[in-house]
Amino acid sequence: MESDYLGPCEEEFKRYLLIAKCFVERLKKSRDRQICVHWIRRLLALTPCNDLAVGQNRNLFFRYLIKVIQEAVLEDMIQNDPGHMLHHFTHMTMSIQDLPMVQDPSWLDKELCTPVIQEKIAEGEAEAPYFAHWTDDQKTYIAAKALPGKGALVYMAVSTDPSLGWNNLV
């Protein structure tokens, strides 16, 4: 039974080998490459594994090793040509003032009827007000509950079939 699960584990390991190969080739320092090759060889010594736990732990360590190698590659890129890296990021970012304002859709106020929500909250408990609303066609349901600390829990359900009986839940 356990051998059935080893196939995907081995496939995952092979994918990690390809990813690691791409990153190791980009390392600038030969000492870093030697260290990576040493650890990859130690992982290869566990292949093929006959134990599912060994395979999973091997792959878990390999994922961590790939993250370390990736960080080393990025560090090399920044150290070798920091201006090049900054050039890419300055073209990708925008200031908040340059971002367009998002307008609320016109149907939002009509469907949710914001004044009704405010009234229900005002009428409700002081600790945790609760509001639930159905649209006229019984296809959309929304519920909101204020949380301590100025947060809110919101639930919304949409269905094309109003006969499901969700309105019986309220």
pLDDT tens string 73-110: 888 877 776 555 555 555 445 555 555 555 555 555 55
Q: How far is CA 26 from CA 29, 31, 77, 98, in A?
A: 9, 13, 9, 36
Q: What is the pLDDT of residue 64?
A: 92
- CA-nearest of 72, 75, 60 to 16 is 60
Q: Which has more pLDDT, 156 or 32?
A: 32
Rounded to 5 degrees, φ, ψ at 141 are -130, 135
Q: What is the pLDDT of residue 2?
A: 46
pTM: 0.46
Q: What is the pLDDT of residue 61?
A: 92
The average pLDDT across 4-30 equals 82
Is the pLDDT at 145 greater than 50? The verdict is yes
Q: What is the pLDDT of residue 125?
A: 46
Q: Choose the weakest-confidence range: 4-8, 37-41, 139-143.
A: 4-8
Q: What percent of the chain has pLDDT over 90?
A: 5
